[in-house]
Structure 1
Amino acid sequence: MNASPRRKELTRLAAQLFVQEGFDKTTVRMLAQEMGIKSGSLFHHFKDKQEILAAVIEEGTHNALRIARRALESSPADPEARLRTMARAHLETLFTDRNAHVVALFEWRRLDDEAKAHLSHLRDAYEALWVDVIDAALEAGLIHGDRFLVSRFVLGALNWTVRWYDPAGPRTPDDLADELVAMIIPMKR
């Protein structure tokens, strides 16, 4: 991935346009106009629209990994705290880099096979962080169920917040993380 500041800015603008218009409806001309460059100049930075989509998803996934790893490094070792930490980190990622994540969630299927193969290792690395945290919570008896289903339900619930959560509303991301953990950990008797 070319990490030049200009390419990062173009990737950010593309993510915004993909969210507004959808990948299929976004044209190269629209991208260039949004970026304030000529259509031909766009190809100085990217091979084609597919590469722009891949760059948006790659940038967002790198950010998610960085935020989650940093959060886990400073998290207490107990499984409940780590579960809350990962939920909070996931929400931070969604709310600080919203457009890239909405694109990753809803436009992944638009990637060509080569881009999917290239990006799958990043997605898998992120999901592996969740699997480790969920496994520890399962082993500690904090949560119950099938690891695959628990992880899908948790990530699905967290990902859907991009549709309904209002950052200016009364609840903070910490409140959301606390509420999620309270819902999946049975009440202590």
Structure 2
Amino acid sequence: MTVVNVSPRRKELIRVAARLFVDEGFDRTTVRMLALEMNIKSGSLFHHFRDKQEILCAVIEEGMHNALSIARTALAEAGCSPQARLDAMARAHLETLLTDRNAHVVALYEWRRLDGDSRAHLVHLRDAYEALWQQVIDEALEAGLIRGDKFLVRRFVLGALNWTVRWYDPDGPRSPEALAKELVAMITPPEAAESP
């Protein structure tokens, strides 16, 4: 199954579908609703996608590709310091939420709606993203920046960052950078932050 496609029309359909899946939920979003939003006939959707399941897969895939790209760029620019890399990953995650919120929310809340083939197609992207986090967390644990079981720390950090889609206001008092720094500070013991 190859879902990524550079067609501008297809990309627009993916963006519209992501918004509808967030607003209405995957199950309640119909092909007719998607076509109406795009101002096309329902049958025209099938020039781009086989079915609604493939649309869901495309939404999540595009979001995951974007998240991986943002995270890899952030890590490349962060250098070798475990603290800088942890901060960079947190900022990158929040940037993903802000720049591609709908796709991220769909991935979080509609993953369970994927059929087996779609899940198998996407799992390597999810695993690649989680592997970046695990590497950064392993480095932070080894440097003494954070403490705890690496599996639980990763789940806790990603859970906290993911939950910001529900409450974070980009027009509020905290910038994404400030929020990322504060969230990382919550899991970093003060003595670790003070050490060189």
TM-score tier, shorter chain, comes to over 0.9
Measured on the aligned residues, the alpha-carbon RMSD in Å equals 0.8
Correspondence for 1:116 among 112, 115, 119: 119
Following the alignment from structure 1 to structure 2, what is the Cα–Cα distance between the partners of residues 35 and 47?
17
Match for residue 168 of structure 1? Answer: 171
Instruction: Report the secondary structure of 2:78's partner residue.
Output: coil
Correspondence for 1:69 among 43, 68, 72: 72
Q: Deviations over 1:14-49 (max 9, x none)?
A: 000000000000011001111111000000000000
- The answer for unaligned runs of 5 or more in structure 1 is none
Match for residue 153 of structure 1? Answer: 156
1:3 Cα shift? 2.2
Correspondence for 2:34 among 21, 25, 31: 31
Q: Give percent identity, aligned residues only.
A: 76
Task: State yes or no: 1:3 paired with 2:6.
Answer: yes
Following the alignment from structure 2 to structure 1, what is the Cα–Cα distance between the partners of residues 78 and 174?
22
Would you identify which runs of 4 or more consecutive aligned residues in structure 1 move more than 3 Å?
none
Following the alignment from structure 1 to structure 2, what is the Cα–Cα distance between the partners of residues 73 and 115?
30
One-letter amino acid of the structure 1 residue matched with residue 146 of structure 2: I
TM-score by length of structure 1 reads 0.98
Match for residue 24 of structure 2? Answer: 21
Task: State yes or no: 1:133 paired with 2:145.
Answer: no
1:169 Cα shift? 0.5
One-letter amino acid of the structure 2 residue matched with residue 159 of structure 1: N
TM-score by length of structure 2 reads 0.95
Following the alignment from structure 2 to structure 1, what is the Cα–Cα distance between the partners of residues 32 and 7?
22
One-letter amino acid of the structure 2 residue matched with residue 61 of structure 1: M
One-letter amino acid of the structure 2 residue matched with residue 165 of structure 1: Y
Task: State yes or no: 1:55 paired with 2:64.
Answer: no
Following the alignment from structure 1 to structure 2, what is the Cα–Cα distance between the partners of residues 76 and 176?
21
